[in-house]
Amino acid sequence: MRHDWLDESPYWADKIARQIIREQEIPPGGEVHLEGGITPSGSVHVGNLREVMTLTFVQQALEDLGYTVKTYYVWDDYDRFRKVPKNLPVDMRERLHAELGKPLSEIDDPWACHESLAAHHEAEFEESLNELGIHAEFIRQHEAYAEGRYARLLREAWEKRDIIREILNQYRKEPLQEYIPFDVYCEACGKDTTTIKHVEGDAIHYACACGHEDVRHFTGKGVKAKWRVDWPMRWAYYQIHFEPGGKDHSTPGGSYDTAKQIIKAVWQRSPPSYAPYDFVILKGVGGKMSSSEGKLLTPRQVLHYYTPDVLRFVYASTRPQAEMIIQLDENILQVYEEFDRVERFYYQPHEEKLKDDRWQHWTRVYEMAQPQPPGTLPVQPSFRELTILTQVYEGDIQQVVDAYAERHGLILTPLDRKRVRERAERAYAWVTSEYAPEKYQFRLLPPEAPIMLSPEARAILKTLIPLLESDADEALLREAMQARLKEKGLSAKAFFREAYAFLFNKPYGPRLAGFLRIARERVLPRLKRLEEA
């Protein structure tokens, strides 16, 4: 969306967009090329998603400024298979171990549902991107190399290999005596355990550790640029103006530093603008995510708990240079509440107050989370409330949607019904997962279950029956309980422990007044049992 203040927007993606235009000298309304790459060596996790999200938001920022944007998403599926992921079954890991050294695109899918191991991981990730509203067209490097797309640039890298070696040696303790800027996969065994004997024109003569000797060509498959060369080579080929990069690539002397020099020295092009991004941390999981180590969650898995707009909101609201946390513990409730607060502000800026006065920032965050915002403020079902309703109705999402609409006196539009359903599905998935604290998890006892209550607790709970029958709000229920506690001389701690045992056979549970209000229809039959004695 084109705001009159967009040229001075403080939002991070807008700042990067203006940086690209300035550094790359893009004329008004010109075309901008962005790139990002992911290696599908294992399940593609939410840390990898940060690269795609960064590109998505920067692309939107550039388009809002009136520029045409072409984004190249690259699957580095012609990289060698270096390590077997640890999260695979033992028998699968044993089979894959024999494949080390082959390109990822030529390893059979151990699940036998895609043409290769790389394709398996690519498909899952691309499906998640579609769900997030990101319709990316990926370049598969095994196809690009086989087509000879990079043949000329590979030959130029070979001819200037000594210049590349000098660049790399600036950052090495032990200087390289010689450097070959590419690897060759053996025609016989398929692995990169090869030694280059000599190069004649387009022909690369090699010998492999398996005993096979043969010739590969720059114009065909089997030749792969080494990473330090592959990255700037792609910049040159696709004429890239911007690419974000992980924190691990951004250290002094790292791959970005050398790539900047290589593209200038070998292909006489200026390097693209750059933005480093920090790691993504999963609250409750801990540690850096790694596909090869098997310590990760994929976007598909996180989308079990986050609706697409709220997950986009999490990425959009954190600038790339800051460590990003995806909340999977009870703080997920606050994330949904924050999203709803920002959404209300977007539609009702004079009625909703935010934590700070950065209204331009939050306006842009919401537009990145909702690239096509609805015309009016949509229904905002409370995630906290839905964690209760979904358990009251034991995961029957249709009943939950109907109960939510009835409870709030709403006639839901198809769009609103879809939002309630999607949030209810996530709420139930989260509250029944390992990430939800036990205090949020319960199973309501049936009306006929045995009753064990002190006279004081029984009297307080009986007082609530007429209030619930009259559909009293949460505040009134809370006030009634507090007044009766004081009257009966019972401590709040003792009462709540008895009340939770009466309802769930547990000493704790959700906030009692809120729960009783939300689960009124299901709780009243059990409460009325108290009037029988």
pLDDT digits (tens, 9 = 90+) for 50-99: 999 999 999 999 999 999 999 999 999 999 999 998 878 888 888 899 99
What pLDDT score does 288 carry? Answer: 57
Please give the residue that has the higher pLDDT: either 59 or 4.
59
Model pLDDT for residues 145-186, shown as the tens digit of each residue = 999 999 999 999 999 999 999 999 999 999 999 999 999 999
CA nearest 391: which of 293, 523, 502?
A: 523
Model pLDDT for residues 227-239, shown as the tens digit of each residue = 999 999 999 999 9
The residues facing 246 across adjacent strands are: 277
Mean pLDDT across the stretch 333-357?
A: 87
CA nearest 272: which of 485, 70, 491?
A: 70
* 135-173 burial code (b ≥16 CB/10 A, e <16): eeebbbbbebbbebbbbebbbbbbeebeebbebbeeeee
Q: The tokens of 323 are what?
A: 């460590």
pLDDT above 60 for 287 = no
Q: Taking the model in full, what pTM does it have? A: 0.92
What letter represents residue 276's amino acid? P
pLDDT above 80 for 357 = no
Alpha-helix residue ranges (DSSP H) falling in 303-394: 308-316, 332-347, 359-369, 383-392
What pLDDT score does 285 carry? Answer: 66
Q: How many DSSP H helices and E strands does the chain contain?
A: 21, 12
Q: Considering only 58-67, 201-210, 516-525, which range has the smallest mean pLDDT?
A: 516-525
> Which CATH number is 455-531 given?
1.10.10.350
For residue 532, name the pLDDT band (cuts at 50, 70, 90).
confident
Q: The tokens of 518 are what?
A: 């939300």
Mean per-residue pLDDT over the chain, rounded: 93
The span from the CA of 398 to the CA of 406, in Å, is: 12
Q: So where are the chain's domains?
A: 6-146+225-278, 383-440, 455-531
CA triplet 420, 423, 428: central angle to 5 degrees? Answer: 120
What pLDDT score does 89 carry? Answer: 85
Please give the residue that has the higher pLDDT: either 283 or 425.
425
What letter represents residue 132's amino acid? L
> Which CATH number is 6-146+225-278 given?
3.40.50.620
Report the Cα–Cα distance between both ends of the chain, in Å, rounded.
Answer: 65
pLDDT above 60 for 398 = yes
What pLDDT score does 206 carry? Answer: 98
Mean pLDDT across the stretch 471-477?
A: 91
Other CB atoms within a 10 A radius of the CB of residue 451 amount to 16
